[in-house]
Amino acid sequence: MAKTWMITGASSGFGRIMTEKLLARGDRVAATVRRPEALDDLTSHCGENLWIATLDVSNDGAVRSVVDAAFAAMGRIDVVVSNAGYGLFGAAEEVSDEQIRHQIDTNLIGSIQVIRAALPHMRAQGGGRILQVSSEGGQIAYPNFSLYHATKWGIEGFIEAVSQEVAPFGIEFIIAEPGPARTDFGRGLVAPQPMEAYDATPAGEIRRAIADGTFEAKGDPVKMAQAMIEAAEQHSAPKRLALGAGSYTSIRKALVQRLAELDAFKEVTISADVDG
């Protein structure tokens, strides 16, 4: 049975791949892009199955009006895919205040507002699913991506809470956590002027690895997009879906280390309660 999806950031990367796959099998897609011409090649043969709106998710008012318009145009939307975002690439000391605000406004607040705008519609229709495209970077961290990680860890924490709030309404969440993939994400990185002081630090090492191509991206974006689609259609969907061997390895290592540290200081932790 055909489903109806809403996908933000549909012009490239995972959003574009998912849009193409869903339309090819006969589903309907409400796609948002920053440049309306980005999907011109799809409009000619998709007819009413493709609805397009221009949206910058950092504009709170625009998010609400576009999400409302998408539900009005499509009727029921089964899955909302919150995908729009980009990476700010620089050591915390290097990035500007303006860059910090825009990164948070887009990746974190933008995702929060897309979800908030969708919730009343999903409550009214009796349920639905929201798939948030996060990253392995929602549970681990690389130097030089501190602000990007702040947004991904932030949106995952938001979803942990809101998923409990709206579960009684039949609204479910999936957090997709792809590892480094062969998308155009790297070309979209925003980077400040580097500081020489960081050349011989882990931040400098990552910067050089990105520049010379030795930062390995093994993930197949087509396979990852397909896995997201399939997860969103499962009867019992996972709360988190790591994608790629690198993502599995790095997240598992981080979780094991965190648990070991928690257990190592168990007595100190417990001793901090009120006596008696």
Q: 134 catalytic, yes or no?
A: yes
Residue 150 included in any domain:
yes
Greatest pairwise CA separation for the chain in angstroms: 72
Task: Give domain status of residue 255, yes or no.
Answer: no
Query: Is 90 inside any structural domain?
Result: yes
Output the domain CATH number for residue 103.
3.40.50.720
Query: What's the pLDDT score for residue 39?
Result: 87
The SS3 of residue 133 is strand
Q: What is the pTM of this model?
A: 0.93
Active-site hit among 58, 148, 198, 250: 148
Residue count of the chain: 276
Candidate list 152, 198, 247, 250, residue with the active-site label = 152
In a domain, 270, yes or no: no
Question: Phi/psi of residue 131, each to 5°?
Answer: -105, 115
> Residue 74 falls within a domain, yes or no?
yes
Is residue 186 included in any domain, yes or no?
A: yes
Q: Is position 269 within any domain?
A: no
Number of structural domains in the chain: 1
d(CA 7, CA 204): 35
Domain range holding 236?
4-245
11, 58, 82, 134: the catalytic one is: 134
Q: How far apart are CA 200 and CA 208, in angstroms?
A: 10
Q: What are the angstrom distances between the C-alpha of 99 and each of 88, 105, 147, 168, 194?
A: 8, 10, 9, 38, 14
One digit per residue, pLDDT tens: the chain, 276 residues?
Answer: 789 999 999 999 999 999 999 999 999 999 999 988 888 888 878 788 999 999 999 999 999 999 999 999 999 999 999 999 999 999 999 999 999 999 999 999 999 999 999 999 999 999 999 999 999 999 999 999 999 999 999 999 999 999 999 999 999 999 999 987 666 655 667 888 899 999 999 999 888 888 877 777 788 999 999 999 999 999 988 999 999 999 999 999 999 999 999 999 999 999 999 987
The whole-number pLDDT of residue 184 equals 62
Residue 251 lies in a domain: no
The rounded Cα 276 to chain-centroid distance in angstroms is: 45
Sheet holding 240-243, edge to edge: 50-54, 28-33, 4-7, 79-82, 128-133, 171-178, 240-243
- What is the phi-psi region of residue 170: left when phi exceeds 0, alpha when psi lies from -120 to 50, beta otherwise? left
The dihedral region occupied by 238, where left means phi > 0, alpha psi between -120 and 50, and beta the remainder, is beta
List Cα–Cα distances, 259 to 231, 240, 252, 256, 266, in angstroms.
27, 18, 11, 5, 10
